[in-house]
Chain A
Amino acid sequence: MRLGGVCAAALALGACASMQPKPKPAAPIRINEDPYPSTYERYPGVPTFIRGATIFDGDGHRLERGDILIADGVVKAVEPNLMAPEGATVIDGTGKWVTPGIIDIHSHLGDYPSPGVQALSDGNEATSPARPEVWAEHSVWPQDPGFSRALINGGVTTLQVLPGSANLFGGRSVVLKNVPARTTQGMKFPGAPYGLKMACGENPKRVYGSKGNMPQTRMGNIAYARAVWIKAQAYKRKWDKYYRNGGDMPERDLAMETLKGVLDGKILIHNHCYRADEMAIMIDMSKEFGYKIAAFHHAVESYKIADILAREGICSAMWADWYGFKMEAYDAIKENIPFVHNSGACAIVHSDDPNGIQRLNQEAAKALADGRRAGINISEEVAWEWLSRNPAKALGILDKTGTLAVGKMADVVLWNGDPFSDYSRPERVWIDGAEMYDANNPKKRPVSDFELGQPGEGDVK
């Protein structure tokens, strides 16, 4: 009725039929890129002042008898001879060490939790070589007791949980604050970009080849991945056009959405890849399709191409001394991490293991010593970059955490001795300035729902 009236009025002006503009395409509707948003909120902390500790700031500097003040969730100051502000909790750091919290860039806590039973095994959607549509956060069980061990024994304050490596495209990763929560959203690191797990080598070809499917070979791995990227490029073109011009919304495809996010530079590539020759191929693939690899994970042969990795600006996430457990790990050497560092490339110590995540500092210590014996002299304060700064960089959160720069999240560990020693342990851990662990206070220790009422509940683990 009303429309008729409008047209009738227009008719009176002699304009209705002839002057009507072509119907304008509907304005594009933006797809929500954060439909499972973080609900993490930092817990209240008190202004805390640690006096006279040895401080590694994560940026390669060392302060002897340094002071650090954290308040309002952030680092306020790191200097020698600070004054403790009125009302701050003052901790004597004499003979102790302060570092940024450790960041494990490669964990499966929550998606392969303890106990390791079939019912909780949620890390590999091994039903197709390309599953970029799955998101690790939808598998994470926040009650995994492993999170607490990583915190209290490992000083781990941030971790990336990845899907497994059965697939060429394993799905999206999620970056978590190591703060217990009822929901996974409650642990999500606010503002951290998503990652996409890719894998090369043995695992995808074994998992699918053994089922008689492609890929059965390494060349199959690459052909399959390239075909997926070609589809992703077409998908991106379609959606870029839609976002530019509007009109009918193209059909959504969750798998392609993730890959488009990569091609848009919003989602970071974390590429499981052991062998040097395969890393070189993955680098070419990234150039062929126009994306960037943030880090190679389990990169046991990075030392063979450390110069190339330095040139391309790609990080390597590595173990100190794992070797030989599979063919593609056969050429692992104990100097891998220092060799990569020495070539000017970005080196990261990672765990991929619920036990290893509890002593990443000791893994760094071994690598550092092996490097020194090979004539590469790196200081402890520089080596600490392998544990917090470099993983933060590869995760796209270095502006928020990973070092003790003023204004960054107060993710801080007080160690009871030199953290490059097997004899040292975290004494206190703060995340966003809230004390989440205190070795001297049994109440300042997380106990997961799973462990309540079980043998050993609340024990020192």
Chain B
Amino acid sequence: MRGVIAAVLLAAAVPASAQTFAIVNGIVAKGDGSEPIPGGTVVVRNGRVVAAGAGVRVPAGAQVIDATGKWVTPGIIAGFSRLGLSEVDLSADGSDDTGNNGPFSAAIDVVPSINPLNSTVAVNRADGVTRAIVAPVAGKSIFAGQGAVIDTGADMDPVTSPRKFQFVELGETGKDKAGGSRSSAHALFRNALREAAELRRYAAPISAARGDTPDERERPVIRNPNESRIYGPDARRSEDVLLTRFDAAALVPVLQGRQYLLVHVERASDILQVLALKRDFPALKIVLVGASEGWTVADRIARAGVPVIASAVNDLPASFEQLAATQSNVGRMRAAGVNVSIGLIDDNDTRYVFEERQYAGNLVALTKIPGATGVSWGDALAMITSKPAQAIGLGGELGSLAPGRRADLVIWSGDPLEGSSAAEQVYIDGIRQPLDTHQTRLRDRYRYLPRRDLPEAYRH
């Protein structure tokens, strides 16, 4: 495995700009909601999509990859996950970074926890998942911290977009974190934004702070405006605070609408409470996560223009906040005009991202069931490619085969919404990825069981 990764790192060192390739003769689905195009071509240059569709000309000198009989789509994007945070979830001390029992909340940045060499990353990459929205797990507070968008490439640079959003729990989980009621959770939330607003008001602007800092070397280097460290150590606050200074500072970009706010709620009334927040704090860029009962208030979500990242097929009243759960939830919200995408919400979110395409296929199946509401094939694919990217403002970069998008591509053995199809070639930023995993190595070792001259341990 290490050898493979080293080889890929080497390949990445070759300037990607030199590489132009075209995938021809495949059934091409762009991920933008459109239906698949037979005999399509995808052209990639410099790690970006140049063109995709029927009648696209292959540039002279381009490497040509034949995809006859295959399907070609953008890579799958996990709409919500904990990919890269955990190698083994239970009783494997030290391999799981989903815990959050420390003193900080909103200030937490998920990036240091992400290990691109976790086998979960490789397993999902091998099944055509190329990017993931990764959220931290809420600990003592309703605020889980800041999540990121990662790629699943076999290299040591997984982060596409750090600190892209703040994740907050305002349903049953939030209630528990806040002391036992949703009222308490909402009071905590509003107070937190008040503390952020106050901090912002008192904080010295960057330019002024620079003059006041005795030694420039003590100042953090700021590359991203969402980095809460821009609020200097001299920021004054009132005495009446619950958050640490670091946590309050982390919420300033949320308050200003520079950082998305992903809110996990399931119950219809909880959804409406979150939509109401937008009236009080108009700059908030809210994305609903979960929303099992969203279909019952779908018109109001649509009117608010708030995107939803939903579980695809949960249909059980698994808790009292999901009594109206149905597999038609996604289809009904979509039909009402809500921008819906699919994620894994608190459900095997560290490792089973690859099942999203099977779930998307199940949503298509609903179109044949009387009384159910499914989605079209094109929409189903969009919900696991372009839609999650759009939900957090990365639709111009990721998730479709539109010109200029990052060349995250998968060549599938068949229809990608069938779980029985497999990813045969996976590209991230135009770079072909290895598809070997711990699992494929074990498969090859134990394919034939009869005893040989040496033990199984010598088969490698």
B433 within 8 A of A: no
Q: Pick the interface stretch among A25-33, A160-168, A237-245, A414-422.
A: A414-422
Q: Do A115 and B442 touch (CB < 8 A)?
A: no
Q: Do A355 and B313 touch (CB < 8 A)?
A: yes
A72 within 8 A of B: no
How far is B372's CA from A304's CA once the two chains are assembled, in angstroms?
Answer: 43
Known pairs A206-B91, A343-B449; A420 contacts B420 (CB<8 A): yes
Q: Do A325 and B89 touch (CB < 8 A)?
A: yes
**Chain B CB within 10 A, most for which of A116, A333, A422:** A422
> In the assembled complex, which residues on chain B have CB atoms less than 8 Å from the CB atom of A330?
88, 438
Q: Do B446 and A114 touch (CB < 8 A)?
A: no
Chain B residues 120 to 175 lying within 8 A of chain A, measured CB to CB, are 120, 123
How far is B325's CA from A281's CA once the two chains are assembled, in angstroms?
Answer: 44
A303 within 8 A of B: yes
> In the assembled complex, which residues on chain B have CB atoms less than 8 Å from the CB atom of A451?
317, 323
B319 within 8 A of A: yes
How far is B456's CA from A307's CA once the two chains are assembled, in angstroms?
Answer: 14
Shortest distance between the CB of A120 and any CB in chain B (Å) = 11
Q: Do A365 and B419 touch (CB < 8 A)?
A: yes
Q: Do A333 and B439 touch (CB < 8 A)?
A: yes
Q: Do B446 and A460 touch (CB < 8 A)?
A: no
Q: Do B316 and A145 touch (CB < 8 A)?
A: yes
B259 within 8 A of A: no
Shortest distance between the CB of A114 and any CB in chain B (Å) = 4
Chain B residues 341 to 369 lying within 8 A of chain A, measured CB to CB, are 348, 350-352, 354-355, 358, 361-362, 364-366, 368-369
Known pairs A324-B88, A327-B88; A425 contacts B368 (CB<8 A): yes
Q: Do A303 and B446 touch (CB < 8 A)?
A: yes
A98 within 8 A of B: no
Known pairs A439-B369, A456-B324, A460-B369; A339 contacts B316 (CB<8 A): no
Q: Do B119 and A324 touch (CB < 8 A)?
A: yes
A442 within 8 A of B: yes
If over half of A's interface residues share one DSSP class (helix, strand or loop), that class is named, otherwise mixed; here it is loop
**Chain B CB within 10 A, most for which of A117, A303, A326, A423:** A423
B271 within 8 A of A: no
How far is B422's CA from A373's CA once the two chains are assembled, in angstroms?
Answer: 9
Chain A residues 347 to 398 lying within 8 A of chain B, measured CB to CB, are 354-355, 358-359, 362, 365-366, 368-370, 373-375
How far is B325's CA from A455's CA once the two chains are assembled, in angstroms?
Answer: 9
Q: Do A459 and B328 touch (CB < 8 A)?
A: yes
How far is B418's CA from A373's CA once the two chains are assembled, in angstroms?
Answer: 15
B87 within 8 A of A: yes
Mask, A305-346, CB within 8 Å of B = 1, is 111000000000000011111110011111100010001000
- Of chain B, the residue at the smallest CB distance from A368 is B420
Q: Do B296 and A455 touch (CB < 8 A)?
A: yes
Q: Do B324 and A455 touch (CB < 8 A)?
A: yes
Q: Do A366 and B364 touch (CB < 8 A)?
A: no
A127 within 8 A of B: no
Q: Do B316 and A146 touch (CB < 8 A)?
A: yes
A111 within 8 A of B: no
**Chain A CB within 10 A, most for which of B316, B320, B440, B449:** B316
How far is B350's CA from A334's CA once the two chains are assembled, in angstroms?
Answer: 18
B90 within 8 A of A: yes
How far is B88's CA from A132's CA once the two chains are assembled, in angstroms?
Answer: 31
How far is B355's CA from A366's CA once the two chains are assembled, in angstroms?
Answer: 11
CB < 8 Å: which of B120, B366, B438, B443 contacts A335?
B443
B447 within 8 A of A: yes
Known pairs A323-B123, A439-B370; A456 contacts B364 (CB<8 A): no
Chain A residues 251 to 289 lying within 8 A of chain B, measured CB to CB, are none
Chain B residues 381 to 432 lying within 8 A of chain A, measured CB to CB, are 413, 417-422
Q: Do A355 and B323 touch (CB < 8 A)?
A: no
Q: Do B317 and A333 touch (CB < 8 A)?
A: no
How far is B113's CA from A350's CA once the two chains are assembled, in angstroms?
Answer: 34
Q: Do A326 and B90 touch (CB < 8 A)?
A: yes
- Of chain B, the residue at the smallest CB distance from A322 is B352
Q: Do A422 and B316 touch (CB < 8 A)?
A: no
Q: Do A325 and B348 touch (CB < 8 A)?
A: yes
A2 within 8 A of B: no
> In the assembled complex, which residues on chain A have CB atoms less than 8 Å from the CB atom of B365?
422-425
CB < 8 Å: which of B315, B348, B443 contacts A334?
B443
A202 within 8 A of B: yes
CB < 8 Å: which of B120, B319, B352, B362 contacts A115?
B319
Q: Do B443 and A374 touch (CB < 8 A)?
A: yes
A153 within 8 A of B: yes
Shortest distance between the CB of B263 and any CB in chain A (Å) = 21
On chain A, the number of residues with a Cβ less than 8 Å from chain B's Cβ atoms is: 62
Q: Do B318 and A114 touch (CB < 8 A)?
A: yes
How far is B371's CA from A444's CA once the two chains are assembled, in angstroms?
Answer: 13
B115 within 8 A of A: no
Shortest distance between the CB of A367 and any CB in chain B (Å) = 9
> In the assembled complex, which residues on chain B have CB atoms less than 8 Å from the CB atom of A439?
369-370
How far is B422's CA from A368's CA once the two chains are assembled, in angstroms?
Answer: 12
Q: Do A460 and B439 touch (CB < 8 A)?
A: no
B310 within 8 A of A: no
How far is B119's CA from A332's CA once the two chains are assembled, in angstroms?
Answer: 12
A36 within 8 A of B: no
Mask, B294-313, CB within 8 Å of A = 1, is 00100000000000000001
> In the assembled complex, which residues on chain B have CB atoms less than 8 Å from the CB atom of A461?
315, 325-327
How far is B420's CA from A368's CA once the two chains are assembled, in angstroms?
Answer: 8
Q: Do A442 and B371 touch (CB < 8 A)?
A: yes
Mask, B41-70, CB within 8 Å of A = 1, is 000000000000000000000000000000
> In the assembled complex, which residues on chain B have CB atoms less than 8 Å from the CB atom of A202?
90-91
Known pairs A115-B319, A359-B362; A455 contacts B268 (CB<8 A): yes
B314 within 8 A of A: yes
Q: Do A422 and B361 touch (CB < 8 A)?
A: yes
B92 within 8 A of A: yes
How far is B442's CA from A323's CA once the two chains are assembled, in angstroms?
Answer: 13
A440 within 8 A of B: yes
- Of chain B, the residue at the smallest CB distance from A367 is B420
Q: Do B358 and A460 touch (CB < 8 A)?
A: no
Shortest distance between the CB of A210 and any CB in chain B (Å) = 10
> In the assembled complex, which residues on chain A have CB atoms less than 8 Å from the CB atom of B422?
369-370, 373
Q: Do B370 and A440 touch (CB < 8 A)?
A: yes
A454 within 8 A of B: yes
B195 within 8 A of A: no
> In the assembled complex, which residues on chain B have CB atoms less than 8 Å from the CB atom of A117?
319-320
B293 within 8 A of A: yes
Mask, A109-143, CB within 8 Å of B = 1, is 00000111100000000000000000000000000
How far is B459's CA from A304's CA once the two chains are assembled, in angstroms?
Answer: 13
Q: Do A327 and B92 touch (CB < 8 A)?
A: yes
> In the assembled complex, which residues on chain A have CB atoms less than 8 Å from the CB atom of B313?
355, 358
Shortest distance between the CB of A206 and any CB in chain B (Å) = 6
Mask, A436-461, CB within 8 Å of B = 1, is 00011010000000110011100111
> In the assembled complex, which residues on chain A have CB atoms less than 8 Å from the CB atom of B354?
321
Shortest distance between the CB of A352 and any CB in chain B (Å) = 13
How far is B420's CA from A335's CA once the two chains are assembled, in angstroms?
Answer: 12
> In the assembled complex, which residues on chain A have CB atoms less than 8 Å from the CB atom of B326?
456, 459-461
Q: Do B439 and A149 touch (CB < 8 A)?
A: no
Shortest distance between the CB of A353 and any CB in chain B (Å) = 10
- Could you write out 14 A-B pairs with CB less than 8 Å apart? A303-B446, A304-B456, A324-B88, A325-B88, A325-B90, A327-B91, A333-B442, A369-B421, A422-B362, A451-B317, A455-B324, A459-B326, A459-B371, A460-B326
Instruction: Given contact pairs A325-B348, A330-B438, A439-B369, enumerate 13 new A-B contacts (beta carbons under 8 Å).
Output: A145-B316, A303-B443, A307-B449, A307-B450, A324-B351, A325-B351, A331-B438, A354-B316, A422-B419, A425-B368, A440-B370, A455-B323, A461-B327
| A interface residues (Cβ-Cβ under 8 A, vs B) | 114-117, 145-146, 149, 153, 202, 206, 303-307, 321-327, 330-335, 339, 343, 354-355, 358-359, 362, 365-366, 368-370, 373-375, 416-417, 420-425, 439-440, 442, 450-451, 454-456, 459-461
The 9 A-B residue pairs whose C-beta atoms are closest, nearest first, are: A422-B361, A456-B324, A369-B420, A455-B324, A326-B90, A460-B371, A461-B315, A460-B372, A114-B316
